[in-house]
Amino acid sequence: MRLVADLFLLAGALLCLLAALGILRMPDVYNRIQAGTKASTLGVLCILAGIGLLQPAWWPKLVAIAGFILFTSPVGSSTLARAFYRAGVKVWQPPGKEASR
């Protein structure tokens, strides 16, 4: 059981690292929000699963935390994206491409 928990923890840490790299590498704010939200949400859920396997008595609290993250992360990211859109932040276009709008 310890090995499975360690694998979940490692996978979660790697997903959080990928989220951070995605935030750094993406060209505009909309891509950064998407990359950060999806990978970090899955990473945190893997970390919570790993902790739950190591500490079975903590499962009720971990499930509550996971539910909170599953609800607030997408809502927060879509709210941020909508705020940037309303503020007039443009979507990144590759050089040489014309805007389709």
Above pLDDT 90, what percent of the chain? 79
pLDDT digit string (tens) for the chain, length 101 residues:
899 999 999 999 999 999 999 899 999 999 999 988 998 999 999 999 999 999 999 999 999 999 999 999 999 999 999 999 999 998 888 887 765 55
**What is the Cα–Cα distance from 31 to 9, expressed in whole angstroms?**
26
Give residue limits of the domains in the chain.
2-86
**What is the Cα–Cα distance from 101 to 89, expressed in whole angstroms?**
14
The C-alpha R_g of the chain, in whole angstroms, comes to: 17
